[in-house]
A and B are shown apart, each in its own frame.
Chain A
Amino acid sequence: MGKLLQKPKSFYNEFFRSPSPDKLSTHYCPGCGHGVIHKYVAEAMDDFGIADNTIWISPVGCSVFGYYYFDCGHQQVPHGRAPAVATGVKRSHPEAIVISYQGDGDLAAIGGNNIIQAANRGENITVIFVNNSIYGMTGGQMAPTTLVGQTTTTSPYGRNPANEGYPMRMAELIAQLEAPVYVERVALNNAQNRNKTRKAIRKALKIQIDKKGFSLVEILSQCPSGWKVSPVDSLKWMEENQMPYFPLGVFKDVVEQRNPLETKPRIWDKDTIIKMLDLDRQVKEYAKPNPTKDIYEQPKIKVAGFGGQGILMLGVLLSEAAMLNGKQVTWIPSYGPEMRGGTANCQVVIRNNKVGNPSVDKPTILIAMNQPSLDRFEKDVIPGGLIVINETLVTSGVTRDDVDVLAHPFSDIADKQLGTVKVQNSLILGALIKHTNMLDQQAIFDALPAHIKKIDLIPLNKKAIELGFSLG
């Protein structure tokens, strides 16, 4: 058990959360690099006075018990996911200091994409990346950073690039990205490099305090147990094996060029929220409709045609108007295979009470915008129901004689009299409302602004509805 001599203030005096009877020693093996790195981070936390505001993220690895030691908030998280969790924490509390403390298996293997993406987003967090070229916690298996020829329990013949590729230089990889501010690799092999490690950690934390963005310090760290060497020999092992492959140095430093990140405050003012959510519409009263037939009191409507004929919108406007007029209503679009082949339909159920099934198998009203729609759905309409036909695209008439028919060349009329075929749906809507008197006409006009996002199109649609009234 490694003892820490002078304890930084950000370290607990007694490790009360540790299950070990010895509350003064860490759980790390003798000669382990983690303890040294912990001390440097705690000292930096002392110097900046940030422990009160720090949230420490510990994924799985030998350092998963970070919460035994640091006197700050903690989240223990799944293997490799520290950068994602850190993102969630930091986006929730931009003022907090978030430290993601990760091993090499954690960061380079299972969490490879998470670290790259967090770095690429420029999350304002500090990543301490402890590269010991091994999976320490699980008993010395191969890591992505295990060196060529290095024997581990899962590379008993030595790492073979032909089988498992080459060790990954993560600092260099991360430094390639645009967003990161500062990326450096340091080592614990001698006093001089340990001093550099101390400085690098301080710098990385300062960057976060100054809201400058993402920084990562990769630390070559000894794992005597995993390397199967004595604590004393481990430093030599590091110099002979790790250091030739993992060059030390600063791979990226753009601190001076970067401005502090800005975060927008949350809005809690109720009126502003209601307005921003488009929930600030006024309630209006409408006349009780007086339908021309009883069946139009609670009709089921199917609107069918080609995609692009404004079919879905016709249904939505009708439904919105029904709601404004005090009705219960559902609207569903056609889905799945029906959406292919250019046909589209939507189904609207209007009732005085809660709607059950929103699907319309036997419509009261069928609006057939083209021939295939009439062919397909004519037989389903209830006896005494209504079929609205767009004669521009429907050449055959209705074959049944037990239904009411409202037929006009709607597309042509829209094109010639309103200047665009696009408003054929509003034209039909007007004709339908006039014919059935199922809703208050004013409700139809008031339905437009809620769903037609381009406000300059509203007047033309109004005109189309009015013209439609004359066709009903």
Chain B
Amino acid sequence: MAKEFIKGNYAVVKAAILAGAETYFGYPITPASEIAEGSAFYFPKTGRTFLQAESEVASINMLYGAGGAGVRTLTASSSPGISLMQEGISYSVGSEVPCLIVNVNRGGPGLGNIAPEQSDYNQSTKGGGHGSYHLIVLAPNSAQEMCDFTIKGFELADRYRTPVLLLTDAFIGQMMEPVEFPEPISKQDLPSKPWATLGNPQTKKSIINSIYLEPAEMEQHIIRLEKKMDEVKQKEVLFEEYLIEDAEIITVGYGIISRVLKNVVEDLRAKGIKVGLLRPQTLWPFPEKRLAQLAEKVNKFLVVEMSNGQMINDVKLATNCKPEIYFYNRMGGVVPTADEIIHKIENIMGGNNG
């Protein structure tokens, strides 16, 4: 297929349909509404269901119903809406319902603003709702990855029977870039789901459920869920490295920040400072093994985030605080410029190479 020059938010919509998604449920909120609007346009055209729910509480429960009924389903929202979904997300984990949730992270806490932030990192990667669990969290940094990770998100959700979160921001969502879309998946190639309630005699014994009254049984259930996620940790970590081999300082950033950091790396290398970049593409599972390896040979790390410092804690844990870990952040929707970060790194490196 020809390349499309398209906004990240619309890439999600087309990719979802190509991945065989049959239902979209969502409630409008800036800056995620484009995904709802795109879905309202394209889902009916392909005989699929688009429904504007009465709230995010309803949206996520509609996903629970649809995902439990064995179809690929998605919703998109932004921070305040994702907060409202936490109960349903927890139930989806407990009942092992696959679904895809897109969070176009905006400024918070409270109503905040509609500008890009990365302040929902903790909510996304540490659980977010009640109970012991983790979500699989994918962090795209381009329109192409908005497409690719949407498709990957459905695959992971089905493979592990768990909700997957695509964590992005207003910047990535609004940006237009060329995207190469894959062929649509055929119905036969979708995974079969004998566990789902398909409304047929074969799945009459199917039960979507998160109640385990006996504590010992409940414990076993949680252990089973944890084992599943251990496998995710083993197999599904994704990250990208840029000029890391000879780096004297490694920058760590995801989403739009990683794009800025790429320029920082290039500009500083032109000035003779050896900077590298590690970009987590999965925020959970986090590339902790790789970070631990790198911490053996590099003793300066700079974590850049558009939050009050959330991912930095995972970097500290992964590296056991062995290297010097520096932090640079902007908040409220301010995207740091390459110059600001360059200045920070020049300061860290003592200005000797400047």
Mark A residues whose CB is within 8 Å of B. Answer: 17, 19, 51-55, 57, 64-65, 67, 71-78, 81, 84-93, 95-97, 113-114, 117, 121, 264-268, 270, 272-274, 276-283, 316, 319-320, 323, 328-333, 335-336, 355-359, 361, 450-451
Known: A73-B198, A92-B69, A114-B58. A277 touches B46 (CB 8 A): yes
List, in ascending order, chain B residues with CB within 8 A of A329's CB. Answer: 5, 177-178
Q: Is B64 an interface residue (CB 8 A)?
A: yes
Q: Is B304 engaged at the interface, CB distance under 8 Å to the other chain?
A: no
Whether the pair A316, B170 counts as a contact (CB closer than 8 A) is no
Contact B197 A113 (CB under 8 A): no
Q: List 18 A-B contacts (CB under 8 A).
A: A55-B199, A67-B207, A67-B209, A75-B64, A75-B69, A84-B57, A84-B65, A87-B65, A92-B71, A96-B199, A97-B199, A113-B58, A270-B183, A279-B181, A282-B2, A361-B337, A361-B338, A451-B5
- With A72-B204, A356-B266 in contact, is A91–B199 under 8 Å at CB? no
Could you say which of A113, A281, A359 has the most chain B C-beta atoms within 10 Å of its C-beta? A359
B333 lies within 8 A of A336 (CB): yes
| CA–CA, A54 and B261, complex, Å | 54
Q: Given known contacts A331-B175, A355-B259, A357-B263, what 9 new A-B pairs fall within 8 Å (CB)?
A: A19-B213, A75-B209, A78-B64, A85-B64, A91-B23, A117-B54, A267-B46, A277-B18, A329-B178
B61 contacts which of A65, A84, A356 (Cβ < 8 Å)? A84
Q: Which residues of A contact B219 (CB under 8 A)?
A: none
Which A residues touch B113, using CB under 8 A?
336
Query: Across the interface, which residues of B come within 8 angstroms of A283, CB to CB?
Result: 2
A359 touches B333 (CB 8 A): no
Q: List 5 A-B pairs, minimum CB-CB distance, nearest first.
A: A88-B65, A96-B199, A356-B262, A73-B197, A88-B62
Contact (Cβ within 8 A) A328 B178: yes
Query: Complex formed: what's the CA distance from A91 to B199 in Å?
Result: 12
Contacts of A323 in B (CB 8 A): 3, 5, 178
B181 cross-chain contacts in A, Cβ below 8 A: 277, 279
CA distance A256 to B239 in the complex (A): 60
Q: Is B5 a contact of A316 with CB atoms below 8 Å? A: yes
Complex contact A268–B5 (CB within 8 A): no
Q: Are A73 and B66 in contact (CB under 8 A)?
A: no
Contact with B91, one of A78, A89, A316, A328 (Cβ below 8 angstroms): A78
B interface residue count range (under 10 / 10 to 19 / 20 to 34 / 35 or more): 35 or more
Q: Which residues of B contact A17 (CB under 8 A)?
A: 207
- Per the bound structure, the CA–CA distance linking A283 and B181 in Å amounts to 13
Whether, in the assembled complex, B174 has its beta carbon less than 8 Å from a beta carbon of chain A, the answer is: yes
Chain A residues with Cβ below 8 Å from B71 are 92
Evaluate contact between B259 and A358: CB separation under 8 angstroms.
Answer: yes
Measured between C-beta atoms, what is the minimum distance from A211 to chain B in Å?
14
Residues of A within 8 A of B67 (CB): 88
Is B335 at the interface (CB under 8 A from chain A)?
Answer: yes
**Centre residue among A88, A96, A323 by max chain B CB count within 10 A:** A88
Instruction: Give complex CA distance A358, B17 in Å.
Output: 27
- Verify A74–B206 contact, CB threshold 8 A: yes
> Chain B residues with Cβ under 8 A from A72's Cβ?
204
With A73-B206, A84-B57, A279-B181 as given contacts, are A89 and B197 in contact (CB-CB < 8 Å)?
yes
| CB pair B65 A73 closer than 8 Å | no
B6 smallest CB distance to A (angstroms): 9
B66 touches A92 (CB 8 A): yes
B203 at the interface (CB under 8 A from A): yes
Q: Is B186 at the interface (CB under 8 A from chain A)?
A: yes
B314 within 8 A of A: no
Question: Measured between alpha carbons, how far is A174 from B206 in the docked complex, in Å?
Answer: 32
Cross-chain contact A336 with B115 (CB below 8 angstroms) = yes
C-alpha spacing A90/B51, complex, angstroms: 12
Is A55 a contact partner of B175 (Cβ separation < 8 A)? no
| CB pair B206 A89 closer than 8 Å | no
Bound form: Cα–Cα A358–B42 in Å: 28
In the complex, B208 has a CB within 8 A of chain A: yes
**Closest residue on chain A to residue B67 by CB atoms:** A88
Q: B122 to chain A: which residues have CB within 8 Å? A: none
**Once the chains bind, are B58 and A74 in contact (CB under 8 Å)?**
no
- Minimum C-beta distance from B34 to chain A (A): 12
Q: Are B14 and A359 in contact (CB under 8 A)?
A: no
Contact B260 A357 (CB under 8 A): yes
User: How far apart sit A73 and B195, CA to CA, in the bound complex (Å)?
Assistant: 10
The reply to whether the CB of B184 lies closer than 8 angstroms to some CB of chain A is: yes
Which B residues from 163 to 213 make CB contacts under 8 A with A? Answer: 170-171, 174-178, 181, 183-184, 186-187, 197-201, 203-211, 213
- In the docked arrangement, what's the CA distance between A319 and B6, Å? 10
Q: Taking the complex as formed, is B254 at the interface, i.e. its CB lies under 8 A from any CB of chain A?
A: no
Q: Are B178 and A356 in contact (CB under 8 A)?
A: no
Q: How far is the CB of B344 from chain A (nearest CB, A)?
A: 16
Q: Give, as a whole number of angstroms, the nearest-CB distance from B169 to chain A.
A: 11
Residues of A close to B44: CB separation below 8 A: 264
Residue in B5, B22, B46, B88 whose beta carbon sits within 8 Å of that of A450 in the complex? B5
Question: Nearest chain B CB to A227's CB is how many angstroms away?
Answer: 25
Residue from B42, B178, B183, B266 with most neighbouring chain A CB atoms (10 Å): B178
Q: Shortest distance in angstroms between B281's beta carbon and chain A's nearest beta carbon?
A: 15
Are the CB atoms of A333 and B338 closer together than 8 Å? Answer: no
B17 A75 Cβ-Cβ under 8 A: no
Q: Given contacts A88-B73, A332-B174, A336-B113, is CB(A77)–CB(B47) below 8 Å? A: no
Complex alpha-carbon distance, A344 and B57, angstroms: 36
Residue of A57, A64, A89, A450 with highest tally of chain B CB at under 10 A? A89
Residue of A nearest to B97 (CB): A75
Q: State whether the Cβ of B241 lies closer than 8 Å to any Cβ in chain A.
A: no
Let me know if A88 and B176 touch, CB within 8 A.
no
Say yes or no: is B296 at the interface (Cβ < 8 Å to chain A): no
